Every structure is written in structure tokens, then in C-alpha cells.
């Protein structure tokens, strides 16, 4: 059976990365799509595991060659993107692939793969809660905090364009909801495949 794609997206601080990590631990045969980036590698990060670290020239050449499924430039002038070769590598291994990308990237992946992909929008209960979570990270300046909040307000307007929405108010509830949604998607695909095989057998 061909692998499926599960695409998680959310404004910064809504908790999509936490949910993706939870699903990777709970669901067998699920693999994470490692993104490429031009930002500098941080201490303890491993090339090919955390990100594929590229120079801006390398990223630009791959972009020109049509090697990216989606890409975006972020606040600090660095680029991030999903390599088609990375997705193909995981699918060819018989894996289901899960993504942690921004809103525009998620919509691009859905457009490319259609019904083979499930898109999930993770939503914080309010912008105020989102602001509080971002502030608690201690990683944002007042300027970048306001940029992220403004972007979150814009991205929340796209929630209805996604297959499913998970409200991340109580984390354990959000984890359970995300697990149920993804398992149902993967199981329904398997059941449909088995039903087709049964019809073929009965008609032989």
C-alpha cells in the first residue's frame, strides 16, 4: 500500500511540533520529513536528522531545479523547505510521512498530493494564550513577538482550508485528538485497500 502523508501546521506557539513528536512515538511506520534550511547549525543538531543544512547558494540551485515541494523565507532572512527527494525516500521505504510546516507549505503539499495527504491545523484557544506561550519561550524580542502574533492572526483565517482542526488548549486532550484523527486516516486507507482486494478476489 502506498504511504500516506500527514501535514501538521499552526501559528508559532500553538504546539504543532509537540503533537508531531507525540505521534512519532505512538504510531508505527510513521517517519518525519526532515526539512532543508540555510540557517546555521546549532549545537547538538545533526545534519540529515534535525535539518539538511544548506548554503544559500545550494538552496537557490535546488529551488531553480524544482527540487522543493514547498519553501519559505522566515524573519531572519533564512530559507526553509521540503525536498521532494526526502519525501520520495521515505515513501519508497514504505513509510507514512509526517510534516511540521507553516500554513502556506501545508497547502502546497496538499495541492501536490491531494487525497494522499491529510492536513491538520493546530489552533491555540486564543491569541492571548499564544502570546503568553511565545513570551514564556524567552526566545523572542518584542519586535519578533509582534511579527509572530501578526502572522498568527493571518494564519488563523486559513483554518477552514484544512482537513482537520485540533484545538490545543489542554495538551493531553490535543494529543488524544491528534492521535485519533491520524489513526483514522491511516486505518481508513488500509480498510479501503483491503475492500478493493476483496472485491477483486470475489470477481475472479
Q: What is the chain's mean pLDDT, rounded? A: 89
Residue tagged 484544512 (cell numbers): 162
What's the pLDDT score for residue 200? 40
What's the pLDDT score for residue 140? 78
Residues 6 or more apart whose CB falls under 8 angstroms from that of 182 comprise 6, 23, 27, 98, 118, 120
Q: Output the CATH code of domain 5-203.
A: 3.40.50.300
Q: What is the pLDDT of residues 159-175, one digit of tens each?
A: 999 999 999 999 999 99
Residue tagged 502570546 (cell numbers): 131
What's the pLDDT score for residue 194? 45
Mean pLDDT on 23-52? 94
Q: What is the residue extent of each domain of the chain?
A: 5-203
Q: Which of 118, 81, 83, 100 is nearest to 22 (CA)?
A: 100
Q: How much is the pTM? A: 0.84
Quick one: what percent of the chain has pLDDT higher than 70?
91
Q: Are 100 and 20 within 8 A, CB to CB? A: yes
DSSP per-residue codes, 96-138: EEEEE--HHHHHHHHHHHGGGEEEEEEE-S-HHHHHHHHHHHT
How many whole angstroms separate alpha carbon 119 and alpha carbon 114? 10
Amino acid at each position: 500500500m502506498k504511504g500516506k502523508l500527514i501535514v501538521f501546521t499552526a501559528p508559532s506557539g500553538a504546539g504543532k511540533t509537540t503533537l508531531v513528536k507525540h505521534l512519532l512515538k505512538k504510531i508505527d511506520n510513521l517517519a518525519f520529513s526532515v526539512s532543508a534550511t540555510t540557517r546555521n547549525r546549532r549545537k547538538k543538531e545533526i545534519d540529515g536528522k534535525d535539518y539538511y543544512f544548506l548554503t544559500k547558494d545550494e538552496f537557490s540551485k535546488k529551488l531553480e531545479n524544482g527540487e522543493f515541494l514547498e519553501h519559505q523565507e522566515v524573519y531572519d532572512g533564512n530559507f526553509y523547505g521540503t525536498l521532494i527527494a526526502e519525501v520520495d525516500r521515505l515513501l519508497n521505504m514504505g513509510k507514512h510521512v509526517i510534516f511540521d510546516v507553516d500554513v502556506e507549505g501545508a497547502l502546497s503539499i496538499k495541492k501536490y498530493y491531494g487525497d494522499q495527504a491529510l492536513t491538520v491545523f493546530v489552533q491555540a484557544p486564543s491569541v492571548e494564550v499564544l502570546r503568553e506561550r511565545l513570551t514564556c519561550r524567552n526566545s523572542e524580542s518584542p519586535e519578533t513577538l509582534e511579527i509572530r502574533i501578526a502572522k498568527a492572526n493571518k494564519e488563523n483565517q486559513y483554518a477552514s482550508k484544512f482537513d482537520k482542526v485540533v484545538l490545543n488548549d489542554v495538551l493531553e486532550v490535543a494529543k488524544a485528538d491528534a492521535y485519533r484523527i491520524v489513526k483514522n486516516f491511516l486505518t481508513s486507507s488500509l480498510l479501503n485497500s483491503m475492500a478493493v482486494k476483496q472485491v477483486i478476489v470475489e470477481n475472479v
